[in-house]
Structure 1
Amino acid sequence: MKSRDRFTADLFDWQPPKVAVGFEADLSGNRLGSRISRAVSLALKECGKSRAEVAEAMSSELGYPVSADMLDAYASEAKESHRITLERFVALVTATGCLDLLGFVAGLFDHVVVPGRYQSLIELHLIEEHEKDLARMKQTVEAKWRAGR
């Protein structure tokens, strides 16, 4: 039996890197408030910090107190009277480092959030697609011109 080469990566195990930010978990549901609460809850679970640490970082960012109890309320689907504001949402992203929250919001509008380093690559692709469209248009016009002679 042949032993496996442990120093060469297996080409069939390769997965492309995640390009767009967003949660892997399904956050679908009927009510937007419930989906936002679940997103906040996931961010708090996945960030590796205690809620007290996140609250302290948010308080520092905002310049006014945010408590762990407030975070519990934002993460609870049952607490309908306690919804996170946009400024606190931004502070939550900063405090947790959870960019998947940005992907969650963009996903509501059928968009994605990608790191800025991909912007030029995306623009290049769009230009190349436009060039292909122009080339097809040119071929059509040339064919009409030749047929009309």
Structure 2
Amino acid sequence: MAKTPRDPFTPDMFVDWKPPRISVGFEPGTISGNRLSSRISRAIAKALKDCGKDRTTIAGLMGERLGHKITVATLEAYSSEAKTGNNITVERFIALVEATGKIELLGFLAEDFDMAVVPRKFENVIELALIEDHERMIGSRKQTLRMKIRGSK
């Protein structure tokens, strides 16, 4: 029997649906490199490129947040792998995330620690899943103990 072609306008919920990405960060493999300083520069460069704002605006927003001037040349140095003496500080990194709106940078930091950054709205869902896992472990342990008790009678 020939398979009936599916309607091309109706998504197949088992084939066409992909769960949304929960954690924030760049797509895997986007920021490559062996040296940490190179990877940081590449991540900053990508954030600057993808945020949709020009560097003058970003520098101005960072300066407002920090209370002192940030120059476009400083941003260029942070995003350049060649300028190894210009590492971004944590406070400036936070201002950069805020100015660009590229929270992927936060996920980039967490990756090296085998961690993920998730929006706060998922915090309760994660906690509930951990509690349910713990309940299953306790249930399994209780069942094992009951079987041992029955076996010792």
- Bucket of the pairwise TM-score, normalised by the shorter protein: over 0.9
Q: Which amino acid aligns with 1:71?
A: L
SS in 1 for 2:60: helix
Residue 61 of structure 1, aligned match among 62, 65, 77: 65
How far apart in 2 are the matches of 1:125 and 1:32? Answer: 34
Residue 11 of structure 2, aligned match among 9, 12, 20: 9
1:140 aligned to 2:147? Answer: no
Task: Summarize the alignment of residues 62-141 of structure 1 with structure 2, pairs less than 5 Å apart.
Answer: 62-141=66-145
Q: Which amino acid aligns with 1:85?
A: T
User: What number of residue pairs does the alignment pair up?
Assistant: 148
Q: Which amino acid aligns with 2:75?
A: L
How far apart in 1 are the matches of 2:137 and 2:17? Answer: 33
User: Displacement, 1:61?
Assistant: 0.6
SS in 2 for 1:29: coil
User: Displacement, 1:29?
Assistant: 2.4
TM-score computed with the length of structure 1 as normaliser? 0.93
How far apart in 2 are the matches of 1:67 and 1:4? Answer: 55
- Percent identity of equivalent pairs: 50
Unaligned runs of 5+ in 2: none
RMSD of aligned residue pairs (Cα, Å): 1.7
Distance 1:32 1:3, change over 3 A: closer
The C-alpha deviation readout for 1:16-40, integer Å capped at 9, x for no partner, is 1111101114324221111110110
